[in-house]
Chain A
């Protein structure tokens, strides 16, 4: 494993970071330099993600200093990299490539990933492998002459696939060993002629996600991430980052799903009833407590003592969103019978809180499924936090090809 560490012997502080920001702004005036050029220069100055190593967009500095950089650059009117559009790359592909990639892979992929010149997507879930992701059946077979990998299979629930230049992909490279051992992690070129992306229309009417069909897709061995057969371990780094990204966002009071409900209650006295009043207050309390719980986990992480509470954040987040958005539709009364627009569109980013109450209610149904179902998260809490026995397994020591399906 080629793991990167911050440069030893150096620990840039806030003043050093400010000096570098000033240097960048002096050399590249954001008002004149094209956006792409500015973002590349920012990456090269180590101000993209300061906790990354030098030479890879960072300074090996504490993660907390990123807020200083972002504030200074925003104040100077500098363009950002539109993080909502490239969330999969920033939140999942980048930390995994940083941790498990070769030097060559890190240099090739991280810069255009961060600037947004190359959008990334994630080819993990399959129609037959959701919670049991390790049971996946997309095959990667090595071609003896070229050493390239030839991939065949189907992936699903892929956001940004229609925009993506690259994908992180896990595929089965050895069906003769137990399922966790026969998986390998790849970086897949989405422009390969064998990649077909079809929109997957969802419960809200639109298609935020895609199905991706892989037919004879060719991946050079240089685009394998980590060792052959080590893909499950590499994927854990990706998935951990995904859960933190979904449940751990910092929100102000009344940020998130409770905002529209509270606003509707204030602005629309005709909707109010005494019975709904207590339920709206209950929802407000629940939202505030989820916010405080997330804040407490962030304080624990900043203090260097991450408690097990983190695994509960996404579970709480899903339950709250579903409860509050359901109450909001109910509060709307007759208006709740209308739905804004069922037209099939393909949005460029995920939106949990947008549009109208009906949309929020339906979209929130995904919160307890995406990024680890609430049932799987309860297993994780019970086993890893409370120390209760693991689920009985019948598939651990059986070759993948011999599993019943």
Chain B
């Protein structure tokens, strides 16, 4: 188990951070969130194609970078820190992982992965963002005998940016994953708590679809949810670290009662506790990324549940502390702290709540219910 960052991972972080510093400053994020173009497509093209982030998890022989969950985790730390409005999690992690669980020797699957990896297309997996690994295969969409899909999936992340939807649906031969052109579905973006990760309700009315060959579609879906839940912990660490750094920086600047506010012991102790929380969440998130990269399913599941049960609460607590310790300015729309609180709170519900991940841990660590 390696809980540190390799030199390659450090270089990747620097590259992503430089692009975000240049292209994704707080005022740009704030300016975009209420517009008709919630995603920064120019930034996404740059990250996806030029930096190759869209294909990080895709093997080289399928046109990707052949990297692992460890590298994707580093990218998510940076994207979380900047709350960058790009569909990396939905497309390059969630949808891509589902496709990697299908039969990648099949031409359809391989071609779709190659397009995603090259940044030529963006995909979304049609599941509610609140869906968790371990849940039953969804039944809200069904395929008819001609392979057309009908049904509705709510709260789908990054569907608004997607060209392609990967849709879990019940069909004549049982559960399957289907490829649907986004243009053939009704994608309705709604007003979401987290403004930097737009959500949509997606409706299919006899939408033309192609069944993606997979030995075990349910396992492919569940594996994608597990991987994404584990990597979400690194995004949460990125959010939490930003909140801690900004708050410490603010409290070193601000004077009240003739003193630097950060010198008051009650605040110093709160920040020391928060620092410890972030350090701990980082260790848990690194363990999850490392276990996902190593590929032992049981160890990975255990590490993901531990990381999600930890980092979700850490990000929320860090964002709440950031708001409180910034005082009045933390309540304003102008200051970017609220974007992290909204991201952190939405992330707490995403891919399983902490309580749900603890419950999932129960059989893995032999602590049975009452």
> Taking beta carbons and an 8 Å cutoff, which residues of A are in contact with B?
262, 265-266, 269, 272-274, 276-278, 280-282, 284-285, 288-290, 292-293, 295-296, 299-300, 303, 309, 312, 315-316, 375, 377-379, 381-383, 385-392
Contacts and interface: CB of A to CB of B under 8 A. Distances in A.
A382 B362 CA distance: 36
B358 A389 contact: no
A391 to B, nearest CB: 7
Contacts of B260: 389
Contacts of A284: 361, 365, 367
B280 A276 contact: no
Interface of B: 1-4, 248, 251-252, 259-260, 262-263, 265, 267-269, 271-273, 275-276, 279-284, 286-287, 305-306, 309-310, 355, 358-359, 361-362, 365-370
B268 A388 contact: yes
Contact of B263 (A266, A272, A295, A388): A388
Contacts of B248: 386-388
Majority SS at the chain A contact face? helix
A262 B367 contact: yes
B306 A386 contact: no
Which residue, A266, A282, A290, has most C-beta atoms of chain B within 10 A?
A: A282
Nearest to B284: A289
B3 A278 contact: no
B47 to A, nearest CB: 28
Contacts of B4: 296, 299-300, 303
A274 B283 contact: no
Contacts of B273: 378
Given A293-B280, A312-B279, A381-B275, A276 B1 contact: no
A388 B251 contact: yes
B2 A381 contact: no
A309 B279 contact: yes
A285 B275 contact: no
Contacts of B263: 388-392
A375 B265 CA distance: 10
Contact of B272 (A280, A290, A386): A386
Contact of B268 (A278, A292, A378): A378
A293 B279 contact: yes
A266 to B, nearest CB: 6
Contact of A281 (B275, B284, B362): B362
Contacts, number: 124
7 contacts: A278-B359, A285-B361, A292-B3, A312-B276, A379-B269, A383-B268, A388-B267
Nearest to A392: B263
Given A281-B358, A285-B361, 20 more contacts: A262-B365, A265-B367, A281-B362, A282-B309, A285-B309, A285-B358, A292-B280, A293-B279, A293-B283, A296-B282, A296-B286, A303-B4, A375-B269, A378-B268, A379-B272, A385-B275, A387-B252, A388-B251, A388-B252, A389-B262
Given A285-B309, A389-B262, A292 B284 contact: yes
Contacts of A272: 368-370
A293 B307 CA distance: 12
Given A386-B272, A388-B263, A274 B370 contact: yes
A389 B251 CA distance: 10
Contacts of A293: 279-280, 283
Contacts of A391: 263, 265
A381 B3 contact: no
A132 B362 CA distance: 45
A173 B271 CA distance: 38
A392 B271 CA distance: 18
A278 B265 contact: no
B283 A281 contact: no
Nearest to A300: B4
Contact of A386 (B275, B355, B368): B275
A265 B365 CA distance: 11
Given A315-B276, A316-B276, A282 B367 contact: no
Nearest to A382: B268
A266 B366 contact: yes
A296 B361 CA distance: 22
Given A284-B365, A284-B367, A388-B268, A299 B3 contact: yes
B279 A378 contact: no
Contacts of A273: 370
Contacts of A378: 268-269, 272-273
A292 B287 contact: yes
A370 to B, nearest CB: 19
Contacts of B3: 292, 295-296, 299
A107 to B, nearest CB: 40
A388 B369 CA distance: 45
Given A290-B280, A293-B279, A379 B362 contact: no
Contacts of B366: 266
Nearest to A298: B3
Contacts of A388: 248, 251-252, 262-263, 267-268, 271
Which residue, A265, A303, A309, A378, has most C-beta atoms of chain B within 10 A?
A: A378
Contacts of A379: 265, 268-269, 272
Contacts of A299: 2-4
Nearest to A303: B4
A109 to B, nearest CB: 37
Given A262-B367, A299-B3, A388-B262, A285 B310 contact: yes
Nearest to A309: B279
